[in-house]
C-alpha cells in the first residue's frame, strides 16, 4: 500500500510540472477520480496607462496618456512578435537631434520601445504596428506635415509614408514594422529625409550657447526665441509659426541667464499709455517699453488719456 501511494504521489508531482510548463490548470483526485482543464491565453490584450505584454499568438492595444493632451496608442497585430514582448511609450528628448529647417509639432519626440522576456530590445516585427498620436495644436493645414522616424545610423529623420492626419480630432495614424523615435515635423514639401541641425553648441568652458532661432521654454511653458545674447517671448501662434525648430525644454536658470528683448507678437504701447490688468486695481504707465507703477492719485493726475484694461499675461511682458 505504501508503495502504491508513493507511485500516486510521483504521478501527481509530474502532472504539476507538466501543467506549469504547458499552461494547464489541473485538479487531481485519488481513488479513481480526476481531470484537467486548459486555460488558453486571451486572444487580445488591452493595456491602458501601463506597459503592454503579449505573446506570439496574441494581439494587443496599448493606450498611454502622456499629459498635456498628448495620447499615444500602439496596436500590435497577432503574429507581429515571435515571443513574449513588452511595449512601452514615453516622451523622448530632442537633445541635439533637431531637424534642419523644420518645425517639430508639439515640440515632442515619441520614444516607443519593445523588449523580450530577457529584457533585450526588440526593434523589428513580422507585421506592421499601427500607431496613433494625438497632439494638441495640430495645424489645420497639413500639406507640409509628415511623421518621421529617427535613423541612428545616418543621424537623419526619415519620412514614414502613408500617415493619415485628422485635424478634427488632432490625431495622426501611421504603420511601421520597426520601433525607434518618432516625431511629427512640418517641412516644405515633406522631404524623404531631414538632416539634424544641432542648435546647441558646446563651448570651451562647458557652457551651452544656443544658436539664433532656437526656441526655448522653461517651467512656466512660455516659449522664447534666441536672438544674439537675448531671448524674445513669443506671445502668439502666428508669431510661433514663423519658426521651424523644435521647442527645447530648459531650466529656469537658463531662461533667466538671458536678457529679455522686446516681446514678439505682443501689442506695443506708446510711452505715456496707462494700463492695468484685469482684476487688479494697480495702474501703470508705459515708459521706454517698461511699465511703471503709479503709486498715488497725484501721479495719476499728471498723466493723460484713458486707462486701458489688458490681460495680466500681456502686462507681464513689460
Domain harbouring 69, CATH code? 2.60.220.30
Confidence bin at 96 (pLDDT 50/70/90): low
* Sequence-ordered list of residues with C-beta below 8 angstroms from that of 299, at least 6 positions apart, any chain: none
Last residue of a domain, one of 195, 223, 243: 195
d(CA 38, CA 312) in angstroms, rounded, equals 66
Residue 12 has pLDDT above 70, yes or no: no
User: Per-residue pLDDT tens for 133-177?
Assistant: 998 878 888 999 999 999 988 888 999 999 999 988 999 999 999
Confidence bin at 110 (pLDDT 50/70/90): very high
What is residue 266's predicted lDDT score, i.e. its pLDDT?
53
250 in Cβ contact with 222 (< 8 Å): no
Answer yes or no: do 19 and 67 share one domain.
no
Residue 233 counted as domain residue = yes
Query: How many Cα neighbours within 13 Å face the side chain of 126?
Result: 11
The domain in which residue 240 lies consists of 200-260
Answer yes or no: do 54 and 119 share one domain.
yes
Residue 36 has pLDDT above 70, yes or no: no
Count structural domains, the chain: 4
pTM above 0.85, yes or no: no
What are the angstrom distances between the C-alpha of 155 and each of 102, 158, 185, 196, 198? Answer: 15, 10, 16, 7, 11
Answer yes or no: do 56 and 81 share one domain.
yes
User: Per-residue pLDDT tens for 299-317?
Assistant: 888 888 888 888 776 677 6
* Sequence-ordered list of residues with C-beta below 8 angstroms from that of 34, at least 6 positions apart, any chain: 27, 28
Weakest mean pLDDT among 61-65, 169-173, 208-212, 289-293: 208-212
Q: Which residue did the predictor score with more confidence, 43 or 208?
A: 43
Q: Which residue did the predictor score with more confidence, 221 or 114?
A: 114
User: Per-residue pLDDT tens for 231-271?
Assistant: 888 877 778 877 766 788 888 878 877 766 555 445 666 77
Answer yes or no: do 137 and 63 share one domain.
yes
Last residue of a domain, one of 260, 284, 299: 260
What are the angstrom distances between the C-alpha of 311 and each of 231, 282, 287? Answer: 22, 13, 19
Answer yes or no: do 252 and 229 share one domain.
yes
Residue 266 counted as domain residue = no
Answer yes or no: do 141 and 223 share one domain.
no
Grid cell in block for residue 239: 508669431
d(CA 138, CA 134) in angstroms, rounded, equals 9
Answer yes or no: do 178 and 63 share one domain.
yes
DSSP code of residue 237 = H
Answer yes or no: do 24 and 106 share one domain.
no
Answer yes or no: do 176 and 247 share one domain.
no
Across 14-18, 166-170, 175-179, 227-231, which has the greatest mean pLDDT?
175-179
What is residue 173's predicted lDDT score, i.e. its pLDDT?
98
SS3 category, 15? helix
Helices and strands (H, E) in the chain, number of each type: 5, 27
Residue 218 counted as domain residue = yes
Residue 282 counted as domain residue = yes
Answer yes or no: do 237 and 250 share one domain.
yes
Grid cell in block for residue 231: 531671448
Amino acid at each position: 500500500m505504501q508503495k502504491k501511494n508513493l507511485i500516486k504521489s510521483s504521478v501527481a508531482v509530474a502532472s504539476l510540472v507538466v501543467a506549469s510548463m504547458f499552461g494547464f490548470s489541473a485538479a487531481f483526485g485519488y481513488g479513481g477520480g480526476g481531470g484537467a482543464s486548459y486555460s488558453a491565453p486571451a486572444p487580445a490584450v488591452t493595456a491602458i496607462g501601463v506597459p503592454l505584454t503579449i505573446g506570439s499568438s496574441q494581439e494587443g492595444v496599448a493606450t498611454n496618456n502622456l499629459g498635456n493632451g498628448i495620447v499615444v496608442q500602439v496596436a500590435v497585430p497577432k503574429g507581429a512578435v515571435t515571443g513574449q514582448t513588452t511595449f512601452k511609450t514615453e516622451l523622448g528628448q530632442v537633445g541635439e537631434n533637431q531637424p534642419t529647417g523644420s518645425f517639430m509639432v508639439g515640440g515632442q519626440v515619441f520614444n516607443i520601445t519593445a523588449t523580450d522576456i530577457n529584457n533585450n530590445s526588440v526593434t523589428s516585427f513580422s507585421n506592421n504596428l499601427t500607431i496613433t498620436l494625438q497632439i494638441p495644436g495640430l495645424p489645420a493645414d497639413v500639406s507640409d506635415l509628415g511623421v518621421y522616424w529617427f535613423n541612428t545610423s545616418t543621424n537623419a529623420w526619415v519620412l514614414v509614408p502613408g500617415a493619415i492626419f485628422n485635424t478634427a480630432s488632432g490625431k495622426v495614424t501611421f504603420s511601421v514594422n520597426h520601433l525607434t523615435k518618432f516625431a511629427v515635423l512640418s517641412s516644405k514639401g515633406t522631404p524623404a529625409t531631414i538632416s539634424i541641425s544641432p542648435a546647441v553648441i558646446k563651448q570651451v568652458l562647458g557652457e551651452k550657447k544656443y544658436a539664433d532661432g532656437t526656441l526655448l521654454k522653461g517651467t512656466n511653458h512660455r516659449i522664447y526665441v534666441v536672438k544674439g545674447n537675448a531671448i524674445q517671448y513669443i506671445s502668439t501662434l502666428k508669431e510661433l509659426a514663423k519658426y521651424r525648430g523644435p521647442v527645447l525644454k530648459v531650466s529656469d536658470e537658463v531662461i533667466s541667464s538671458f536678457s529679455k528683448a522686446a516681446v514678439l507678437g505682443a501689442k506695443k504701447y506708446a510711452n505715456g499709455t496707462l494700463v492695468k490688468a484685469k482684476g487688479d486695481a494697480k495702474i501703470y504707465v508705459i515708459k521706454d517699453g517698461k511699465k511703471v507703477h503709479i503709486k498715488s492719485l497725484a501721479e495719476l493726475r499728471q498723466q493723460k488719456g484713458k486707462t486701458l484694461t489688458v490681460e495680466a499675461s500681456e502686462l507681464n511682458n513689460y
